[in-house]
Amino acid sequence: MKSTMNRLMVGLAAIVGMGLSISNAPLYAQSTPLKVEIPFAFHAGNSSLPAGTYIVVRLGGAIRISDGNGHDVAVVSNSVDNKAKGNTSELSFNRYSGEYFLEEVRWIGYSSAQGLMKSRMELELAKAAQREDVKLAALTTR
């Protein structure tokens, strides 16, 4: 009976410890917010956003994009090699037949960037049209 109780307590402690480490994960994975003027309508994940000035933040395994006027989306992202050149953070878009898709967010000074998965719409357009890279410089807000 005592050994069963000890195993239960050890298991419970392990579960609580994992829960605490997971709940704090986004705190360690945040990045400096970026401010960027996007002069065209674009897609981020499955969402469409109008042209405007946006704040972009990495929160754990997601990117949050908001213009402060009700256009706000969070999309799942993954770490990719950071290709940012020079002294500027940047957003990288894929363009197919006039449609823009956010591809990566790159923070200067970080070894990795955040890449977004291609949506079904982007995959379909990629089959029919040639891709053009479009990069926009972003400013840190801190």
pLDDT of residue 118: 94
pLDDT of residue 86: 72
Does residue 32 register a pLDDT over 50?
yes
State mean pLDDT over 25-40: 74
Distance separating alpha carbons of residues 15 and 22, to the nearest angstrom: 11
Any idea what the Cα angle at residue 75 is, between residues 16 and 67, rounded to 5°? 115
pLDDT digits (tens, 9 = 90+) for 80-130: 999 877 778 999 999 999 999 999 999 988 888 999 999 999 999 999 999
Distance separating alpha carbons of residues 43 and 94, to the nearest angstrom: 10
Higher pLDDT pick, 120 / 27 = 120
pLDDT digits (tens, 9 = 90+) for 35-79: 999 999 999 999 999 999 999 999 989 999 999 999 999 999 999
Q: What is the 3-state secondary structure (H, E, C) of the chain?
A: CHHHHHHHHHHHHHHHHHHHHHHHHHHHCCCCCEEEEECCCEEECCEEECCEEEEEEEECCEEEEECCCCCEEEEEEEEEECCCCCCCEEEEEEEECCEEEEEEEECCCCCEEEEECCCHHHHHHHHHCCCEEEEEEEEECC
Q: What is the pTM of this model?
A: 0.76
Which of the four pLDDT bands, split at 50, 70 and 90, describes residue 13? very low
Higher pLDDT pick, 140 / 17 = 140
